[in-house]
Chain A
Amino acid sequence: MKTDSRFKTLIKSTNDVNFTLFGEIVTVPKGTTLAAAILSNFGEASRITETGALRTAFCMMGVCFDCLVEVDGNPNIQSCMVLVHDQMVVKRQIGLRSIGISKDD
């Protein structure tokens, strides 16, 4: 079930980026962090822990690691620390991925 965003977008820009977020095509202003893009489009969890608990971004400044998602096949990306770009494909992160392993290893 889709949960509406918990935020209201007050500042709109015209310079947009389009990408795939949790299976939907979304449009957000250029220069937005991925976590902000997620929070402004979805109210539900962006990560599910090993025990099945739901999580959303918590600190927005790179401390808590609750905002981890999978970006273009690479897991463990801190969505609050990366900016969106055209054509990126973002998936929820389910369970734990061990740190230090990515698809190019």
Chain B
Amino acid sequence: MTDFDIIIIGAGPAGMSAALTAANGGLDVLLLDEQPHAGGQIYRNVKQNHSKQSWFGKSYSSGINLVDALNHIKITKCFGATVWRVEANKRVLWSQNGESKVSTAVHIVLANGAQERPFPFPGWTLPGVMTIGSAQILMKSSGIFPKDSVLVGSGPLLYLVATQMIEANCPPKALLETQTLRMMINSLIHLPKALLNMKSLIMGFMFIYKIKSAGVPRYKSVSRLEAQSSGNGSIKFLFSHKGIRKSLTTKLLLIHQGVIPSTEISRSVGVDHSWNTSQLAFQPIIDKWGKTNIDGLYIAGDCGGINGSEAAVLYGKIVATKILYETGKINFNLYKKQSFSISFSLFFTNSIRLFLDTLFAVPQETLSPSDETIVCRCEEKTVGEIKLGLNEGITGVRQLKTSIRSGMGQCQGRMCDAIVRGIMLNNISQNDINILAPKARSPIKPITLGELSKMKLD
């Protein structure tokens, strides 16, 4: 006997909708999330923030319905719960308040979302350089807003957060965008299909309109980025714009270069992964119901490939619908009918994806930063050191880790794997590259030996 029918890891849009669909269909669900509240990053603290939702916009407040619906008799929710090991036999080991527990289920759904793509340039480790996503988390969860910040990078989140800052009367000093004219031209071919998701396109234009009317200066096609510390905690940010070297001084430099799937759990449990050539990131190989190569292990939402929160809700539904069918909770006709209608909605939601991927393509200097740039924030290793290793004949990430120690620090490669991959692509011939996704090992989050020794295992 297992403890639950399904264990869902991650209470963001995908995890919440999978939990609700499964629970409504009569399955016992355990929903685990590392954060103190439901919502994931996108609907973070949506419940706690309901008085000031106007700052964060309509699509944020829509998350409240999902969070409310989680009060379901069939759903056991645990927050502040860090999953540190998932086993192919559907055992999940997780830690809460310094105590580790084991839970078992027939099915596991990984819905642990995405992380921001590492965006390395010289000085990106300085105090006062943070990600745009982190600033948004602080705004939503703690009500603290960036003072005179400068926003750098590319992607829809850049415009969304800038708009939210303007709404809250803390506008950024400037927006520096790495997007080039070439990227815009390249994206045009995908525009007709993107028109099928008119709602998102209009939302994007609204953000840009608000930023323009607030008078926030925008610099386009910036390159050769570099942050220097300039006394009293300030940052001098240098960049090239229209062939001229310019600089801005700020206390808070917020950076963003899109998001990539969080794959450390799926990699550690043995799911097969492949390299997504348009999103430039590893993602698990799954079928249209989120099934992986491991029996009973499913993946829903952005950790299976970036498609955004609206799609994540639909992916959560489709995975749970499949599980309901496989456990005999719904019949074939209902299953067919429901999965058809979800796939239909997904087609429209995802029609904008290729357009966005090309419009906000990752710039070459992020894929292969200059030699003095730190790649591995934990072990403080630079691009130059990695290249030296590659020149000496290293062809795989594993070899790099053992000989240079990049990716061997506390974050276990979460911040550098994607960069190292780009450097390898640029510096050794394609045929020599070991293209496998790097292995992840449990514990995928550090736990103390004390906690481990106190664990009850049967």
Is there contact, CB below 8 Å, between A7 and B147?
yes
Q: With A7-B138, A44-B233 in contact, do A58 and B449 touch (Cβ < 8 Å)?
A: no
Cross-chain contact of B127 among A10, A32, A45, A50 (Cβ < 8 A): A45
For the complex, is B410 an interface residue (Cβ under 8 Å from A)? yes
For B52, the closest partner residue in chain A by CB is: A11
For the complex, is A24 an interface residue (Cβ under 8 Å from B)? no
Residue numbers in A under 8 Å from B129 (CB-CB): 58
For the complex, is B88 an interface residue (Cβ under 8 Å from A)? no
Residue numbers in B under 8 Å from A36 (CB-CB): 138, 141-142, 144
For B452, the closest partner residue in chain A by CB is: A100
For B40, the closest partner residue in chain A by CB is: A61
Cross-chain contact of B378 among A1, A32, A65 (Cβ < 8 A): A65
Is there contact, CB below 8 Å, between A61 and B168?
no
Shortest CB-to-CB span from A68 to chain B, Å, is 7
Q: Chain A 30-50 against B: per-residue CB contact (8 Å), 1 yes, 0 no?
A: 011100110110011100011
Give Cα A84–Cα B41 distance, bound, in whole angstroms.
20
Shortest CB-to-CB span from A5 to chain B, Å, is 8
For the complex, is A81 an interface residue (Cβ under 8 Å from B)? yes
Is there contact, CB below 8 Å, between B147 and A6?
yes
Q: Chain A 62-88 against B: per-residue CB contact (8 Å), 1 yes, 0 no?
A: 111110100000101000010100000
Give Cα A53–Cα B382 distance, bound, in whole angstroms.
14
Is there contact, CB below 8 Å, between A59 and B380?
no
> Count of A residues near B, CB < 8 Å?
51
Give Cα A65–Cα B415 distance, bound, in whole angstroms.
9
What secondary structure prevails in chain A residues at the interface with B? Answer: loop
Cross-chain contact of A66 among B48, B116, B377, B448 (Cβ < 8 A): B377
Is there contact, CB below 8 Å, between A55 and B125?
yes
For the complex, is A25 an interface residue (Cβ under 8 Å from B)? no
Shortest CB-to-CB span from B91 to chain A, Å, is 21
Residue numbers in A under 8 Å from B134 (CB-CB): 57-61
Q: Chain B 36-72 against A: per-residue CB contact (8 Å), 1 yes, 0 no?
A: 1000010000001000100000000000000000000
For B51, the closest partner residue in chain A by CB is: A11
For the complex, is B252 an interface residue (Cβ under 8 Å from A)? yes
Is there contact, CB below 8 Å, between A11 and B449?
no
For B149, the closest partner residue in chain A by CB is: A6
Is there contact, CB below 8 Å, between B131 and A59?
yes
Cross-chain contact of B232 among A3, A60, A64, A68 (Cβ < 8 A): A3
Q: Chain B 246-274 against A: per-residue CB contact (8 Å), 1 yes, 0 no?
A: 00000110000000001000000000000
Residue numbers in A under 8 Å from B137 (CB-CB): 60-61
Residue numbers in A under 8 Å from B80 (CB-CB): 83
Shortest CB-to-CB span from B458 to chain A, Å, is 24
Q: With A8-B144, A36-B144, A58-B377 in contact, do A43 and B410 touch (Cβ < 8 Å)?
A: no
Q: With A6-B147, A60-B133 in contact, do A100 and B138 touch (Cβ < 8 Å)?
A: no
Is there contact, CB below 8 Å, between B448 and A100?
yes
Is there contact, CB below 8 Å, between B127 and A8?
no
Is there contact, CB below 8 Å, between B447 and A59?
no
For the complex, is A14 an interface residue (Cβ under 8 Å from B)? no
Cross-chain contact of B377 among A32, A40, A64, A104 (Cβ < 8 A): A64
For the complex, is B25 an interface residue (Cβ under 8 Å from A)? no
Give Cα A50–Cα B378 distance, bound, in whole angstroms.
9
Is there contact, CB below 8 Å, between B138 and A56?
no
For the complex, is B328 an interface residue (Cβ under 8 Å from A)? no
Is there contact, CB below 8 Å, between A11 and B143?
yes
Residue numbers in A under 8 Å from B34 (CB-CB): 62, 81
Cross-chain contact of B142 among A32, A44, A68, A104 (Cβ < 8 A): A32
Is there contact, CB below 8 Å, between A105 and B143?
no
Give Cα A32–Cα B448 distance, bound, in whole angstroms.
24
Shortest CB-to-CB span from A22 to chain B, Å, is 14
For B264, the closest partner residue in chain A by CB is: A63
Give Cα A43–Cα B414 distance, bound, in whole angstroms.
25
Is there contact, CB below 8 Å, between A76 and B377?
no
For the complex, is B411 an interface residue (Cβ under 8 Å from A)? yes
Give Cα A103–Cα B2 distance, bound, in whole angstroms.
35
* 29 CB-based A-B contacts, threshold 8 Å: A3-B232, A4-B233, A6-B251, A7-B252, A8-B144, A9-B145, A10-B168, A11-B142, A11-B144, A31-B48, A44-B233, A54-B127, A58-B134, A59-B131, A59-B133, A61-B133, A63-B411, A65-B378, A65-B409, A66-B377, A68-B410, A76-B410, A81-B82, A99-B410, A100-B447, A100-B449, A102-B448, A104-B450, A105-B448
What 6 A-B pairs come out closest when comparing CB atoms? A11-B143, A3-B233, A60-B134, A36-B142, A65-B410, A7-B144
Residues in chain B within 8 A of chain A (CB atoms): 34, 36, 41, 48, 52, 80, 82, 115-116, 125-131, 133-134, 137-138, 141-147, 149, 168, 170, 232-233, 251-252, 262, 377-378, 380, 409-411, 414-415, 445-450
Task: Knowing that A7-B146, A59-B116, A65-B378 touch, tell me 6 more A-B residue pairs with CB under 8 angstroms.
Answer: A9-B145, A10-B145, A56-B127, A59-B115, A60-B138, A61-B133
